[in-house]
Structure 1
Amino acid sequence: MKDVLRFLLTEAPDFPALDSVEAWWRRHLAVLPRFPSPADLALASGFRMDRMGFAFASGYQAALRSLFPQLPQDQRAALCATETGGGHPSAIETKLTPKGAGWTLDGVKTYVTLGTHAEALLVVASEGRDAQERNRLRMVRLDARASGVTVEPLPPLGFVPEVPHAALRLEGVEVAPEDVLPGDGYTRYLKPFRTVEDCHVNLAVLGWLVKVARRCGWPVALREELVAIAVMIHAIAREDPSDPAVHVALGGALAQMHRALERCEVAWEGVDVEMRERWQRDRRLLDLASKVRAKRLEAARQRLAGGAGDD
């Protein structure tokens, strides 16, 4: 990763303003030819962004490319899992029904990140129950413009409001056989994505923070600590996200990142008011799903200790 490290440490830390999702995407794509690896892309594109919200969006896209390398690089993508009952496998009611040589898809997703601007949709759907009455999930790839797909914008969140979200309604959407991805929708895709997303989103945020630190003259030791944590998470991002040892390592890295962010608070006092207030508003993003993350970490510890764990 020496190329992306050199980029973080030597690239001009300017902050050209971004005023739209389209402007963010153009800047994200401009980084891609130089850093095609998802972990490198997350760091470098995060560095290029003018705010945490757009850094998050780039990290999210890098995470999707890591888990779904078949996605076209020039298309914005969105994972569509959450429904009225949440995102747990048992809560998925969107139905994938056989029809002729293919399938049809029906259901509602209540919360899709970047849903209003996604061109490729990755939809978690149920094809019924197994003998133990467990939901049998599949991952379905859809063109967002397909007939029967309706995107309903949601109000902006109180943090990172630049990143849009949407609800998704699917009514008799025709699905070709090749667009039902191989493997179990939960164990192969949805479950590991939690870890993949944690890695790449935090890499993007770290890339952006290194840029802020360099531009605003934060102490050298603090800047280098952020870079060192990025190196750790970059290495973890390249490992098997289903391995409990990887969960434990990521838990340690994120704890170290949290401590570093606490040490950054004094440095933020020297940053211009607009950027500082935006950070104070948006940093809540890093605490989302913290309870789920802690539960997953404890399950990984139990698995390593010889217990079954439940994640």
Structure 2
Amino acid sequence: MHALLDFTPRPRPDHDPISAALAAQPTAVAPIEDVGQWWPVHRALAARHRAPFALSVAGGLAADRAGWAFASAYQAALRALVPGLADDVVAAFCVTEATGNRPRDIHTTFRDVGNGRLAITGAKRWSTLGPGSTLLLVVGQASPAADAPAARSNLKVVPVPADAPGVIVEAMPPAAFVPEVPHARIRLDEVEVSAGSLLPGDGYDRYVKPFRTIEDTHINAALMAWLLRETRVRGWPAAYAERLVAALAALEHVSTMDPASPACHLALTGALDWCQNLYAQAGPLWESCGDEAAAARWTRDAALFGMASKVRELRALRAWERLAAGATQLSPSRGA
């Protein structure tokens, strides 16, 4: 054997979620009407699928509608963001406040009250799965270090039990799309936690900013898996199923990339463009499927598939700008 070549077969990964999805016998899924019915299904999946991407795919395969694929992928994405999250908690990422989710919009405070304790005061809104959550990942302003620049916010993230004294969770009206997945307004009134429970790193750069990339990757993977099962159960064209598998393969690779890197952002943009084409192709299939309730849900939930498209376009533009800043050649235009 040549000294520079090794023909020893490479070990296969312990679990290939796409192959597993194709190997499973496609069957119809019993209706899941609310979070109370969805959570035991998701919890059982989480016990078998440790990797967040695999959990997203499994959640999509087990969903009877887009909403529960979304919910499972949201939980998986949070575990990709914060790997230490236990499987048995329904987590909610509490970022958005009255004016948005940019650093300047976040006015929730973590006040040092001594004895290694912090008091949290603030209000959040649009916290996904908030009404059914057991753990809140709260983003707020911590007291800055003495040597920190005055203009620099000091955002941090801290886990807070949803039943902690001073936490008030109020369900928001159902959204126009995927209304099964609830959102909440959350008030925190002098909620005390240990200062040692702050998650490491900058709250915005390490958690808030990359989460959109992680969330987009996992949610679209779950939706592709859900459509793949529906395609096989309903006898839709094999060519469509093959395109769904290709999208899953692209998203799986994106899930392994650094979510802060320009390469990841550009790869995800291309993968999501492919997903958008597949969502558009699904419309006529649902219209002719003979299942009026499922077709109506698809039409109702269509807004989910284009949600935050402007944010995604800006993310890709910024990725090209970052690459151009470190290279001599011009970046291609977004219209190319």
TM range (shorter): over 0.9
**2:164 alignment partner in structure 1:** 146
Residues in 2 aligned to 1:224 and 1:165: alpha-carbon distance in whole angstroms = 34
Shift of 1:128: 4.8
**1:92 alignment partner in structure 2:** 106
Residues in 2 aligned to 1:13 and 1:88: alpha-carbon distance in whole angstroms = 43
**1:111 alignment partner in structure 2:** 126
Residue deviations 1:241-270, cap 9 Å, x none? 011110000000000111122222332233
Residues in 2 aligned to 1:90 and 1:128: alpha-carbon distance in whole angstroms = 15
Q: Is it true that 1:120 corresponds to 2:135 in the alignment?
A: yes
- What percentage of aligned pairs have identical amino acids? 43
Q: Is it true that 1:300 corresponds to 2:314 in the alignment?
A: no
Q: Secondary structure, in 3 states, of the residue corresponding to 2:225?
A: helix
Gaps of 5+ in 1: none
Q: Secondary structure, in 3 states, of the residue corresponding to 1:32?
A: helix
Q: Secondary structure, in 3 states, of the residue corresponding to 1:187?
A: helix
Residues in 1 aligned to 2:243 and 2:174: alpha-carbon distance in whole angstroms = 33
Residues in 2 aligned to 1:28 and 1:230: alpha-carbon distance in whole angstroms = 20
Q: Secondary structure, in 3 states, of the residue corresponding to 1:229?
A: helix
Shift of 1:132: 4.4
Residues in 2 aligned to 1:265 and 1:149: alpha-carbon distance in whole angstroms = 42
Q: Is it true that 1:58 corresponds to 2:72 in the alignment?
A: yes
Q: Is it true that 1:286 corresponds to 2:308 in the alignment?
A: no
Residue deviations 1:32-70, cap 9 Å, x none? 232210001001111101110011000100000111111
Q: Is it true that 1:9 corresponds to 2:22 in the alignment?
A: yes
**2:8 alignment partner in structure 1:** none
Written as runs of structure 1 = structure 2, the 5 A alignment for 1:64-83 is: 64-83=78-97
Residues 217 and 251 of structure 2 are in contact (CA less than 8 Å); yes or no, is this contact kept in structure 1?
A: yes
Q: Secondary structure, in 3 states, of the residue corresponding to 2:244?
A: helix
Residue deviations 1:154-174, cap 9 Å, x none? 110111010011100000000
Written as runs of structure 1 = structure 2, the 5 A alignment for 1:1-311 is: 3-11=16-24, 12-100=26-114, 101-128=116-143, 130-271=148-289, 272-306=291-325
Q: Secondary structure, in 3 states, of the residue corresponding to 2:276?
A: helix
Residues in 1 aligned to 2:246 and 2:48: alpha-carbon distance in whole angstroms = 22
Residues in 2 aligned to 1:265 and 1:191: alpha-carbon distance in whole angstroms = 32
Question: Whose radius of gyration is greater, 1 or 2?
Answer: 2
- The size of the alignment, in residue pairs, is 308
TM-score normalised by L of structure 2: 0.88
Residue deviations 1:258-301, cap 9 Å, x none? 11222223322332111011011112112111111111111011
Residues 18 and 248 of structure 2 are in contact (CA less than 8 Å); yes or no, is this contact kept in structure 1?
A: no
Residues in 1 aligned to 2:282 and 2:301: alpha-carbon distance in whole angstroms = 15
Residue deviations 1:82-133, cap 9 Å, x none? 0011001111000011111121100000221110011111000012565242
Residues 53 and 161 of structure 1 are in contact (CA less than 8 Å); yes or no, is this contact kept in structure 2?
A: yes
Moved more, 237-246 or 131-140: 131-140
Shift of 1:307: 6.6
Residues in 1 aligned to 2:300 and 2:20: alpha-carbon distance in whole angstroms = 28
